[in-house]
Structure 1
C-alpha cells in the first residue's frame, strides 16, 4: 500500500492546475495520467513543416477569461491575435424567407434569433457589452421564453419558437454557418445563448492564440511541477476504480493500472480531472446522486485536418472561412508565413468542423480503437479528397464569366484570392490536372478526431432541462457518507465556461475552495483571483 495525501486523476489543464495550487499550499500531490508520454489532455500542438498545428484548443478570449489570462501571465506565456467568429459571404436563396430575415448572413441570423429570445433589439450591442458573469448567472436561473425557463429548453427549440426565426432561416444557419452554432446537438438554450453573448461582445471578438503553440502552457506547468518537492507525476497510470476503505471511513482505496500491472493506493482526497467519457467508465464508483448527473452534458464530436502545401494557391491576404461551404467543413483557415519571412513559400490550410462534416472525415482515421493523439501522414486518401474539393472550387471560380464574377462580388461572394502564378497555371488545367497538382503539393498533413476514445469529445455543453449551477455545486465536493466531502470533479465538461480552458480553471477553483490547508480544520485555499464566485 502507498499512502497519498491527494491523488489527482487526469493530467490535462484542470489536473495540472489543481496540482500547482495544492502543492503551493503545502499538500503532497500525486497526479495519475493514463498516457505514458503525453500530458495536457486535449491541448495538443504538432509541428508540420515549421507551422504550428493546433490539434486541440487554438483560440481564447483573454479579456473575457481572466483566470486563463492570469495563468498565461504567471507562466510567461505570450498571446498573439487570432480570427474571431465570422460568416462566409455565402449567397443562399432568400426569396422564401420572411422580409425581416432576408439579406442576413448566417451569423446575423443567429444574433437576431438570440436577441429576439432575450427580448432585445438585434443591434443592441450596448446591452451585450454590458453583461457580466453575475448577469449570466441570473439569466441561467431566471430567463424565460413564453413563460418557460430557458434552461428547460433546447437551443433549436427556442430559435424555432413563435416570433423568433423561421425554419428556413434555421436551415440556412445550419447549412451555411461557418462557426459553431450546435443546432444539431440542440443544447441547453440559456447556456448556449450565454456562450454566444460572450462571443458577440465587442471585446470578446478580440481572440488570441498562444505564442509558440498551446502546448507551451502544458510545458511551462509541467516544468514547475517537476521541480516541486510536493508533486509526483505518474504517466502511464490509469485510475480503474475507487471506494472507501471501510464503512464511514474518509480514506479512499484506489485501483490503478500501471505498465507493470494493477496496484492499490490509499488517498485522503481524490480529484477527478477528467472529461465525461472517462468519468462514465468510473460511474459505478460514484455516489448515486453524482452518477445520475454525468449525462447532464453532451460531448461535441469536433475534428481538425491540417495540410501543408509547398505551392500555395492562395495569396497572403486570404481571409478565413472563404468558400468553407464548398467542402465538408465548418471553418477554413489559410496560413502563410509573414511575407518578409517566407523563404520557402509554403502554406498551411486548416479545416475545423463539427457535425455533420465530422462524419465525412472521421473515416480517414486509421486507428479506430484509441485515437489518443493526432495522426500525421497516415492516410493519403485525406489528401485525395481535399485536392478534389479545392480543384472544383478553383475551377468554378476561374470558369465563371466576367458578368458572373461581378455579380458574385456585388453579392458579397468574391472568388478565392489566388496568387498570380496559381491563376495562370490553373486556367490551363482540367479538373483532374488541377486536383493532381494540389495533391502533389501537399507535403505533410494530420487529422485529429476528438470524438474517439479516450476523450470522447472536443468539449461539452449542458443538456436541455439541466440546471447547471446545481450540478456544479454537487460536483465540486462530495463524499460516501463520511461527511468528509473529499472527492471532487473538475474540468471543462461540468463548468460555467464550457469549450474553453477558463471553464476548467473555474471548476478547479470551486473545488479548491472546499479543501482545507494541510493540518488545519478551518481555513481553505483562497481563490486565485482573490475573490469567491457564488453559484448557489
Structure 2
C-alpha cells in the first residue's frame, strides 16, 4: 500500500493553504486534485482579449478579512483598490409604504429591518460600526426575537412574520434588491444578519481586488508548494471513497481514481477540502453524526457571462446596472480601458446573476456533465441571444429619443440608421470573444453557501474541524467556505482551515 502521513483531498484555496502550513511545520503532505490541469477551485481568472475576466471571486475587504489580507502579504500578492462604479438608481414602481418606511431604498429598508429585529435604533450606525467578530459569535448563540432564537428561523420570516417590515416594504425589496438579499433561499436569520452587519459597516471598509487577477493567489501558493520537497501535488487524482482500516485504529484507506485506473492509498490524517457537491458523494464514508450535517447549508447557483466587443456602443462614463432589467441578468457591468490606454478601442460587458436569470442562460452551457472551468467561445448561440437583447434595448432608446444608456456619438447615429435586425447583426459581429461560467454545475454545485434556518452553525463547525470513526484520533477534517463563519469568501475557507490546523497541532 502507498502510505502518506497526511493526504488533502481538494486543490482549492483551503486545500492549498492547509498543505502549505503543514509543510512549513515539517509534515509530509500529498494534495489530491480531481482536475488534471487546473488548481484553485472557485478562483478562476482568464485573459479575454487583454481584459481580466474574474469567473469566481473578484472583490475583497482586507480590513474586515484579516486572514485573507495576511495570506496576500505572506505570498507577496499585491492588492489594488477596487473602485466599483456606482450603479444607476433603479426605476421602481411607487409603493404605498407606511410613513416610517416611505422614501427608503431597498438597502435602507433592509438595514431598518435588521436593526429592528436586533432591538436597535435603525439610525444607530455607530452601533453597527462598533460590532466585532466576538460580538457576532455571541449573537449566533444568544440573539432572540420574541423569545425565539434567531438561528432557528429564516431571515425573511424574521423580517416579515414578526412585523419588522411591512408587506409592501418586502415587496419593494423583492423587486429592487440585489441578489445579496437571497429571498429564494430564506437563509438562517442570525447568520444572514451578521453577513449584512459586516457589509453595512462604514469603518474598516476597503474594497480591493488582486493585482493581475485573483488567480495570483493560486499561482503563488502553487509556486511555494512546488518549492517544498515534502509536498506532492497530484493532479488528476479524485478521491472516491475512504474507510477505517481496522476498528479502533486511526489509519485510513483511500480509493482514488486516476486516468490510469484506480489506486489505494493509506494515511493517518485526511483533510477534506472539497466543495459541498463532491463531499456529499462521500457521505456514506463519513460517520453518521457528520454526514447528517452536510445539508446544513444551501448553495447559491450563480452564473457569469463575459462579452468582449471591438466596437463598444457605450461611453467611458457608462455606469453599471443601466437597463439590466432588459436582459435576463441581475447585474450588468461595462468595462473600457482608460482613455489614453484604449489603443484598440475594445470593451467588455459582464452579466452577473442568480436565480431566476440563471435558468435562462444555463441551457447554453455545452459541457453539462463536467463544467469545471469557464467555457470560452464554445456556443455562438450565447452571442445570438445577447445581441438580440442589446439590440432591442438600444433601438428602443434611440427610437424614443431617450438615451438612457450612455451611447457614444458614433453608436447613437449608427443605431438611428439601422433596423433592429441590422443592429443585432452589428453587435453580434462585433463580439470578438465571450464565455460562460455556471457555478451550479458539477463539480461545484454552487458559487457560495449560506446556513439553513434551524442550524447552530458553531456546533457544525466544531464537529467538522476534527472527527474520527471512534478511534479517538480526531484525524479527519472538513475545511472550506461552505461550512464556515464567513461564507462566500476566501476568509471563510481560511477560517475553517485554521480550526483544523489548530486541532492537528494539539494531537
TM over 0.5: yes
Residue in structure 1 matched with residue 452 of structure 2 by the alignment: 463
Residue 496 of structure 1 pairs with residue 505 of structure 2: no
Do the aligned residues in 2 keep the contact of 1:321 with 1:332 (CA within 8 Å)? Answer: yes
Answer with 418-427 or 237-246: which moved more.
418-427
CA distance in 2, matches of 1:122, 1:40: 41
Do the aligned residues in 1 keep the contact of 2:87 with 2:319 (CA within 8 Å)? Answer: no
Residue in structure 1 matched with residue 18 of structure 2 by the alignment: 18
Do the aligned residues in 2 keep the contact of 1:297 with 1:462 (CA within 8 Å)? Answer: yes
CA distance in 1, matches of 2:266, 2:493: 26
Answer with 489-498 or 84-93: which moved more.
84-93
Residue in structure 1 matched with residue 302 of structure 2 by the alignment: 302
Do the aligned residues in 2 keep the contact of 1:394 with 1:416 (CA within 8 Å)? Answer: yes
Residue in structure 2 matched with residue 220 of structure 1 by the alignment: 220
CA distance in 2, matches of 1:137, 1:351: 35
Residue 475 of structure 1 pairs with residue 459 of structure 2: no
Do the aligned residues in 1 keep the contact of 2:179 with 2:354 (CA within 8 Å)? Answer: no
- Taking structure 1 as reference, are residues 262 and 129 closer, same or farther at Cα in structure 2, changes over 3 Å only? same
Q: Secondary structure at the match of 1:438?
A: helix
- Taking structure 1 as reference, are residues 381 and 305 closer, same or farther at Cα in structure 2, changes over 3 Å only? same
Residue in structure 1 matched with residue 411 of structure 2 by the alignment: 422
Q: Secondary structure at the match of 1:514?
A: helix
- Taking structure 1 as reference, are residues 305 and 264 closer, same or farther at Cα in structure 2, changes over 3 Å only? same
Do the aligned residues in 2 keep the contact of 1:87 with 1:106 (CA within 8 Å)? Answer: no
Task: Give me the TM-score of the superposition, normalised by structure 1.
Answer: 0.91
Residue 103 of structure 1 pairs with residue 117 of structure 2: no
Q: Secondary structure at the match of 2:74?
A: helix
Matching residue within 505, 523, 529 for 2:494: 505
CA distance in 1, matches of 2:429, 2:192: 42
Residue in structure 2 matched with residue 121 of structure 1 by the alignment: 121
CA distance in 2, matches of 1:107, 1:432: 39
Q: Secondary structure at the match of 1:90?
A: coil
Residue in structure 2 matched with residue 387 of structure 1 by the alignment: 387
Residue in structure 1 matched with residue 67 of structure 2 by the alignment: 67
Do the aligned residues in 1 keep the contact of 2:19 with 2:31 (CA within 8 Å)? Answer: yes
CA distance in 2, matches of 1:329, 1:430: 25
Residue in structure 2 matched with residue 231 of structure 1 by the alignment: 231
Do the aligned residues in 2 keep the contact of 1:128 with 1:201 (CA within 8 Å)? Answer: yes
Aligned length: 507
Q: Secondary structure at the match of 1:335?
A: strand
CA distance in 1, matches of 2:84, 2:191: 20
Do the aligned residues in 1 keep the contact of 2:44 with 2:215 (CA within 8 Å)? Answer: yes
Do the aligned residues in 2 keep the contact of 1:176 with 1:325 (CA within 8 Å)? Answer: no
Q: Secondary structure at the match of 2:35?
A: coil
Q: Secondary structure at the match of 2:226?
A: helix
Residue in structure 2 matched with residue 531 of structure 1 by the alignment: none
Note the aligned Cα RMSD (angstroms).
Answer: 1.6
CA distance in 2, matches of 1:296, 1:85: 35
Question: Residue 74 of structure 1: CA displacement?
Answer: 1.1
Task: Give me the TM-score of the superposition, normalised by structure 2.
Answer: 0.97
Answer with 482-491 or 314-323: which moved more.
314-323
Do the aligned residues in 1 keep the contact of 2:11 with 2:40 (CA within 8 Å)? Answer: yes
Residue in structure 2 matched with residue 445 of structure 1 by the alignment: 434
Q: Secondary structure at the match of 2:100?
A: helix
Residue in structure 1 matched with residue 82 of structure 2 by the alignment: 82
CA distance in 2, matches of 1:246, 1:205: 51
* 5+ long unaligned stretches in structure 1: 406-413, 517-522, 525-536
Residue in structure 1 matched with residue 280 of structure 2 by the alignment: 280
Answer with 228-237 or 204-213: which moved more.
204-213
Q: Secondary structure at the match of 2:304?
A: strand
Question: Residue 179 of structure 1: CA displacement?
Answer: 4.2
CA distance in 1, matches of 2:80, 2:358: 28
Q: Secondary structure at the match of 1:121?
A: coil
* 5+ long unaligned stretches in structure 2: none
CA distance in 1, matches of 2:116, 2:153: 15
Residue in structure 2 matched with residue 31 of structure 1 by the alignment: 31
- Taking structure 1 as reference, are residues 100 and 91 closer, same or farther at Cα in structure 2, changes over 3 Å only? farther
